[in-house]
C-alpha cells in the first residue's frame, strides 16, 4: 500500500475522531412543529450523526459527513467541508450543532440568521452532555436520558467484566505522521478512547498535553509500553504495522512480548451513544488478539 493511500485513510480516521460540525433541526421524529419553514438535520460529524440517529430523528437527516459510515445514513447527502457554508444555508436548517473548533463557521451562520450550538464529544462526559443537549434541541429529552443511562450501564458492566484483571501499561496510537514512522499521535486521558481502553483492563499511558498528543520516536522509546493498542482503518494493515514495529522498535517491551494489538474497526472512533457496545467489541477483540 502506498504512503499516499495510507494518508487518505488517516484523514478519514481523524475526521471520525475530531470531526467537528453537525447541523440539527427541530422537526424530528421526537418533536414535530407544524410550520411552513423547511426543517431538517445535517450532521457533518459522524459522532453527531450517530446521536441524531439514536435519538430517533433519522428521518430528519438532510446531509451528513463524507466520513459517516452508518448504514442508516447511507442514502443521506454527503457534504464536503469545502462547500459546507453554502450547502448548509441552502438546506435551511433550524439549528446547527457543531464542535467548538468550528467557531468561525458558527459565526458566519449566526450572521446569516441560522442558530448554532457548540457541542463537544472529546470525553465520555462530553458525549453524555451532548446527547442531552441534542435531545433537548430535538424535543427528545426522554430518549436522550435513556441513551445516556444505557451507555453508563453498559460501560460499567464492561469495566466489571474486563477491567478486573490488570493487563499492562498500554499506549494508544491512532495515527503515524510520516513514512519513517518517527512521529505518532496518541490518545490519552481524558479522551473517550482512553476510557474505552481503560475499561478493558489496561493502564493507559498518558503524558502532558490534551486528549490527543503528538509524540516522537524518542518519547515512544522512553515510555516503553508493555502493550501498544494501534487503531487502523483496515484490519488488513495489521501485518504492515507489526513489521514496522519489529523493524524500528524491537527494544520496546510491547514488541518483545508480542503485544502490539492492532484493531481494525474504526467505528469505535465515533464517540456517540453506542460507545458502551463498541467498548465491549474492542475489549473482546483485544483479549483475543493479546491471547489474554
Strands of the chain (E only): list them.
21-24, 41-43, 61-64, 77-78, 95-98, 116-118, 169-176, 183-187, 203-204, 212-216, 227-231, 260-263
> Given the C-alpha cell 474504526, which residue does it identify?
266
Q: Mark whether 174 and 143 lie in a shared domain.
A: no
For residue range 115-133, what is the model confidence (pLDDT) as tens digits? 777 889 999 999 999 999 9
Does residue 197 share a domain with residue 127? no
**Domain housing 276:** 165-289
- If asked whether residues 230 and 207 sit together in one domain, one would say yes
Is 114 in the same domain as 235? Answer: no
Interval 178-199 mean pLDDT: 91
- The CATH number given to whatever domain includes residue 88 is 3.40.50.1980
Pairwise CA distance, residues 41 & 77, whole Å:
11
Beta carbons within 10 angstroms of residue 216's beta carbon: 13
**8 Å CB contact between 92 and 86:** no
Neighbours of 147 (CB within 10 A): 24
C-alpha of 264 from chain center: 14
% of residues, the chain, pLDDT over 90 = 50
Which pLDDT value is given to residue 88? 87
Residue 60: Cβ within 10 Å count = 24
Region 81-108 average pLDDT:
83
Kindly state whether residues 8 and 149 are assigned to the same domain.
yes
Q: What's the pTM?
A: 0.84
Kindly state whether residues 186 and 135 are assigned to the same domain.
Answer: no
Same structural domain for residues 112 and 185?
no
DSSP 202: -
Domain identity same for 51 and 76: yes
Q: Which of 107, 134, 158 is the last residue of a domain?
A: 158
pLDDT above 80 (res 153): yes
> How many structural domains does the chain have?
2
| Shared-domain flag, residues 102 and 173 | no
Instruction: Mark which of 158, 190, 221 sits at the end of a domain.
Output: 158
Say whether 44 sits in a helix, a strand or coil.
Answer: coil
125, 158, 191: which is the final residue of a domain? Answer: 158
153 and 178, same domain (yes or no): no
CB 32 within 8 Å of CB 57: no
Pair (126, 50) in one structural domain: yes
What would the mean pLDDT of 262-278 be, rounded to a whole number? Answer: 90
In this structure, the answer to whether residues 205 and 117 fall within a common structural domain is no
Residue 27 has pLDDT above 60, yes or no: no
Amino acid at each position: 500500500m502506498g504512503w499516499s493511500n495510507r494518508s487518505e485513510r488517516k484523514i478519514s480516521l481523524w475526521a471520525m475522531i475530531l470531526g467537528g460540525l453537525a447541523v440539527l433541526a427541530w422537526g424530528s421524529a421526537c418533536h414535530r412543529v407544524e410550520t411552513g419553514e423547511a426543517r431538517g438535520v445535517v450532521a457533518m460529524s459522524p459522532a453527531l450523526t450517530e446521536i441524531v440517529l439514536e435519538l430517533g430523528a433519522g428521518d430528519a437527516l438532510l446531509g451528513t459527513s463524507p466520513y459517516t459510515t452508518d448504514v442508516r445514513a447511507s442514502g443521506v447527502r454527503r457534504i464536503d467541508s469545502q462547500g459546507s457554508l453554502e450547502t448548509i444555508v441552502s438546506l435551511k436548517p433550524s439549528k446547527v450543532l457543531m464542535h467548538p473548533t468550528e467557531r468561525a463557521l458558527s459565526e458566519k451562520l449566526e450572521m446569516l440568521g441560522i442558530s448554532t450550538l457548540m457541542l463537544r464529544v472529546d470525553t465520555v462526559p462530553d458525549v453524555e452532555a451532548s446527547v442531552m443537549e441534542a435531545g433537548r434541541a430535538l424535543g427528545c429529552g426522554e430518549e436522550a436520558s435513556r441513551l445516556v443511562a444505557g451507555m453508563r450501564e453498559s460501560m460499567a458492566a464492561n469495566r466489571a467484566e474486563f477491567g478486573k484483571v490488570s493487563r499492562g501499561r498500554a499506549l494508544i496510537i491512532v495515527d503515524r505522521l510520516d513514512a519513517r514512522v518517527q512521529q505518532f499521535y496518541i490518545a490519552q486521558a481524558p479522551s473517550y478512547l482512553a476510557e474505552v481502553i481503560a475499561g478493558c483492563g489496561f493502564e493507559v499511558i498518558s503524558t502532558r498535553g490534551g486528549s490527543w498528543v503528538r509524540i516522537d520516536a524518542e518519547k515512544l522509546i522512553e515510555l516503553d509500553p508493555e502493550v501498544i493498542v494501534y487503531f487502523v482503518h483496515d484490519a488488513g494493515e495489521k501485518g504492515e504495522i507489526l513489521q514496522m514495529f519489529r523493524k524500528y522498535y524491537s527494544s520496546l517491551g510491547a514488541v518483545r512480548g508480542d503485544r502490539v494489538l492492532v484493531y481494525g474497526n474504526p467505528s469505535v472512533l465515533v464517540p456517540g451513544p453506542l460507545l458502551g457496545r463498541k467498548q465491549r467489541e474492542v475489549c473482546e477483540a483485544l483479549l483475543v488478539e493479546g491471547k489474554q
